[in-house]
Amino acid sequence: MPELPEVETVRRGLLPHLEGQRIARLRLNRDGLRWKFPPDLVQTATGATVTGLRRRSKYILADLDRGASLLIHLGMSGRILIEGAGVGKFHRDPAILPQHDHVVIETDSGGLITLNDARRFGMVDLVRDDRSPLLDLLGPEPLDAEFTGATLAEAFAGRRAPVKALLLDQRIVAGLGNIYVSESLHRAGIDPRRAAGRIGRARLDALASHIKDVLHEAIAAGGSSLRDHRQASGELGYFQHSFRVYDREGAPCPRPGCAGAIRRVVQSGRSSFWCPACQR
């Protein structure tokens, strides 16, 4: 599933083609994806102008001038395609089959914004005032200035659960997933199995800083393309070439001076990758 950097990369790719544009037509090619589309989706969106394009956790919100926002989630395999007039180098990969085009937005300028989702785990919903069960319980954004070691210390206080599990909890930190948690914990030198409540404040300060660094680097690289993720331009992300531990079981630890090797352990059904020699 796309994590924060992949979703932010898609949002940025969409900005010049959707923000400030009037939606001339919204076409639904089925009655829903993960669940049914709102019955007033087409009526609300058609003729509306997109006043802003935001990200919250792993969701994209397209704000409309009618007091509502389109809430978009890419699910496991969803892709945003940009085609039509004036879109420059944006192109459609012929391997992306048109029968999986489920939501198509046509703008007044002739652009086509398509949600293509082969597995249909994505979603498009309507929200007002950002009120939705999908958004209400989300934790802080890790790229916000207010996200610090103090944020983690408060959330982890007295908790015996592994730090990896708590960082994946969207109520504690919004937008993190398996890849970037593994990478951040390695940089911070923290064992993913360590009880979160037993990590000292100085180490949590460092962890919060490393989380920000990893996310910024991943966004700059266009995210990580492991299976389905592509940027809105159709290009692949490149951060997977910078992985230090994720999916590198058996490889030497890249930390200077460390003689350890990367190991894999399953935590709550998810693979964690870490170096037992330098992550304590």
Secondary structure (3-state) at 231: coil
User: Catalytic: which of 56, 58, 164, 187?
Assistant: 58
Side-chain-side CA neighbours of residue 56 (13 Å): 19
Query: Alpha-carbon distance 34 to 29, whole Å?
Result: 14
- Is 58 annotated in the active site? yes
All residues at 6 or more sequence positions from 277 whose CB lies less than 8 Å from its CB, including other chains: 253, 258, 259, 260, 261
Cα dihedral across residues 163, 168, 169, 172: positive or negative: positive
d(CA 167, CA 147): 13
Out of 25, 27, 270, 276, pick the active-site residue.
270
What lies within 8 Å, CB to CB, of 246 at 6+ separation is 178, 179, 182, 183, 273
Angle among Cα 109, 115, 119 to the nearest 5 degrees reads: 170
Residue 83 has which token pair? 């085609």
Q: What one-letter code names the amino acid at 95?
A: A
What's the longest Cα–Cα distance across the chain? 61
Rounded CA-CA distance 153/134 in Å is 25
Catalytic residues: 2-3, 58, 270
